[in-house]
Structure 1
């Protein structure tokens, strides 16, 4: 079953649901945005995030009707998505940014000049399905895809089929303790790929009192980074620009390929638990060196990000940031840093297409050793200098927590206590009778392993959405056997009306 708001396990000290009062549609916070939750530095917050897929104007802004047409029963539609769609929140499809943004959260004591460290403690899918959409004018192959007729000029939420958006539905399966997206074509082809959840949008407030910050923006505030390294166990560093930081999240993904070439990932709602810690200058320098821009680290890699309208320039920016990081944090000379990057780093693209491009430079932490005591600089061959260069690895864990004074007197939305759980909901049982072999447990922000969280309802009966209901089990779904044929509606691509070879759109 779906992981409904407030149900199941709440791992953070604070809980922030997505409601019409706690979200914005398509906008990130600025200096005047009112916080919806106030926490101490170092607190863990659980966010229930909502995907915009199924509630956007080109999908009718009616998740019940839209998802029913894809074979999803009403019990699997999230109540918060339903409430946001039915609310009076203004949104102009094709004009406003698409994301449902939850927050912002005020971190007491955080001040401009600090760095906000975001530890990703856990990410749990809230639904047993995800959606990939192809929209006209979006993605790397805009103008080529979607194939078929362009949108009609009078398309709107009441006549949403006229937008001619192509939707691909993916069921979520569990196999051998891991979650997979399963895409089945009407022609019989099938693809299955592992899920790697992350939040596409994480941001602090921009220091502006007049500017509207679209959720598609990227910059020093973070924004739509779309960096898939930001999974469970990762840390994101963002320079604080306003008092309290005002941190917000959105755009939850189940999986994405480097580049996000079709403009959307496998979009699906997540329950995300994040630890929010304000770092003073000393702790920030220990973690980042002289770098003061969005930065990602995991147990195995460091990732710098470059942002620009031009892809080549975005790659240059990511590379320059990597040089600065290796020089100021690890101790390489600039020429040595560039030499190392040329030989061993990975350059890639987080997001490509019309608008801002996001590139990354991924550095492998295993290539660097702990620093040794300072020694006199001796002449040595360049190769020996590169091989012997020392790094600082453990300093990233140093914390200098900002003060805990309350800023603005904002009330805690969910109080201080944990929310009572009712069993983990929202995942799926193993497909095809294959036993769970242990999976990979979530990694805490401190690097320690967590016990694997059970995914699915308490009796283990949850199965991928899209099949028929078993007789005598209202709201249930038929267990999906590995390799078995699917219902034509499950995991299929639904074209717009013009692509149905003359058949009228179903509703």
Structure 2
């Protein structure tokens, strides 16, 4: 990861590591909805291709923030030239999003992968995730969050500005005031990742950008940092992949509604696994499956958190049987003794749970 305090990656400027580049222009993005089968790809790639993609955070461009990112961020001391040009263009665009029925997220895509067919598995690996700006926003909106109806206390939504810097050791950290406008501040580690990685759904209806599902979408799994992969069951020819909802950091749960939302330039490798090979490696993949160097990460998604946990456990059992040949009762015991089940998020209508199965336990 590369980052310099004060650096701003405007469209087309700065380092572009991938062989292909997809800017977050109006023509290349959706706002509040996710691609479906009838949408036309803005880029077509071969399996194995590596693409650098610009993403835009929705924080600072939404209607309840004035839909003017230059003015919004000026309140926090950000100069106009440090506001992203593509964010300004998206905010100024008309007829793209109805705040009454659409979600908040800007997604870049769709990207068609040659040869992808329903039943195959698309693997999206995050090669790099570079902050485009040295700041972000954490918001709590009325009717949303883990304490909906209780927080925020006042009548207005609360958006907390955060700076991104490097500490004395050179690590990326976020900084928040302990009280509005107050000092001293609190700092915390940053781990940039994409909240949204997905494939198009079948049919001609674009899904809302907030609830995740078998297509992926807004899964908000903070383990999906540089080097991690997300495996998704392909639902339409070409897969029609997309990315968005960039984060600088997120705690599991994302309890206030958003985490540290901020724009990223990401580089993603697109790989394709045939249906037969995917079944041998992972079992029946009914939804998102993440993978890091340390963990296999099956998921469970449901409006009911208890049901989401159950779905995640079943997915983990199936994965352990397919990958390592574990008998069900032994796998169940192993999960209880050795695997953490984490709440991905509780704020996206459909709640998420993910398991962390250590691959080092199966080195043989």
Per the shorter chain, which TM-score range?
over 0.9
Find the counterpart in structure 2 of residue 318 from structure 1: 312
1:141 aligns with one of 130, 136, 147: 147
Determine helix, strand or coil for the equivalent of 1:341: helix
1:108 Cα deviation after fit: 0.9
1:292 Cα deviation after fit: 4.0
Find the counterpart in structure 2 of residue 195 from structure 1: 190
Determine helix, strand or coil for the equivalent of 2:21: strand
Q: Distance in 2 between matches of 1:352 and 1:21?
A: 32
Find the counterpart in structure 2 of residue 276 from structure 1: 270
Contact 1:12 1:46 in 2 (8 A): yes
Q: Distance in 1 between matches of 2:286 and 2:145?
A: 30
Of Structure 1 and Structure 2, which has the larger fraction of its residues in strand?
Answer: 2
Contact 1:105 1:248 in 2 (8 A): yes
Cα deviations across residues 313-360 of structure 1 (Å, max 9, x unaligned)? 001101110011001111110000000000010011111036211111
- In the alignment, is residue 166 of structure 1 matched against residue 161 of structure 2? no
Judged with a 3 Å threshold, the aligned counterparts in structure 2 of structure 1 residues 66 and 247 are, in CA distance, closer, same or farther, namely same
1:70 Cα deviation after fit: 1.1
Find the counterpart in structure 2 of residue 27 from structure 1: 33
- In the alignment, is residue 177 of structure 1 matched against residue 183 of structure 2? no
Q: Distance in 2 between matches of 1:293 and 1:267?
A: 25
- Please provide the CA RMSD for this pair: 1.2
2:227 aligns with one of 214, 225, 233: 233
Find the counterpart in structure 1 of residue 123 from structure 2: 117
Q: Distance in 2 between matches of 1:69 and 1:363?
A: 44
Find the counterpart in structure 1 of residue 3 from structure 2: none
1:103 aligns with one of 109, 130, 133: 109
Q: Which runs of 5+ in 2 are unaligned?
A: 1-6
Find the counterpart in structure 2 of residue 219 from structure 1: 213
1:290 Cα deviation after fit: 3.5
Task: Tell me the matched-pair count.
Answer: 355
Cα deviations across residues 147-199 of structure 1 (Å, max 9, x unaligned)? 112xxxxxxxxxxxxxx221111111112121000011334342100001110
Q: Distance in 2 between matches of 1:218 and 1:354?
A: 7
Q: Distance in 2 between matches of 1:203 and 1:110?
A: 14
Instruction: Select the structure of larger CA radius of gyration.
Output: 1
Find the counterpart in structure 1 of residue 203 from structure 2: 208
Find the counterpart in structure 2 of residue 58 from structure 1: 64
Contact 2:301 2:308 in 1 (8 A): yes
Determine helix, strand or coil for the equivalent of 1:284: helix
Query: TM-score when scaled to structure 2?
Result: 0.95
Cα deviations across residues 89-148 of structure 1 (Å, max 9, x unaligned)? 432325310000110001111111110011111100100001001111110001111111
Q: Distance in 2 between matches of 1:58 and 1:5?
A: 25
Q: Distance in 1 between matches of 2:284 and 2:94?
A: 45
Determine helix, strand or coil for the equivalent of 1:227: coil
Q: Distance in 1 between matches of 2:143 and 2:103?
A: 14
Judged with a 3 Å threshold, the aligned counterparts in structure 2 of structure 1 residues 282 and 177 are, in CA distance, closer, same or farther, namely farther
Q: Distance in 2 between matches of 1:369 and 1:31?
A: 40
1:68 aligns with one of 64, 74, 78: 74
Q: Distance in 1 between matches of 2:211 and 2:201?
A: 11
Contact 1:57 1:92 in 2 (8 A): no
Judged with a 3 Å threshold, the aligned counterparts in structure 2 of structure 1 residues 63 and 251 are, in CA distance, closer, same or farther, namely same
Find the counterpart in structure 2 of residue 88 from structure 1: 94
2:343 aligns with one of 340, 349, 352: 349
Q: Distance in 2 between matches of 1:178 and 1:367?
A: 30
Contact 2:210 2:349 in 1 (8 A): no
1:280 Cα deviation after fit: 1.0
Query: TM-score when scaled to structure 1?
Result: 0.69
Q: Distance in 2 between matches of 1:39 and 1:2?
A: 28
Determine helix, strand or coil for the equivalent of 1:326: helix
Q: Distance in 2 between matches of 1:297 and 1:353?
A: 23
Contact 1:58 1:93 in 2 (8 A): no
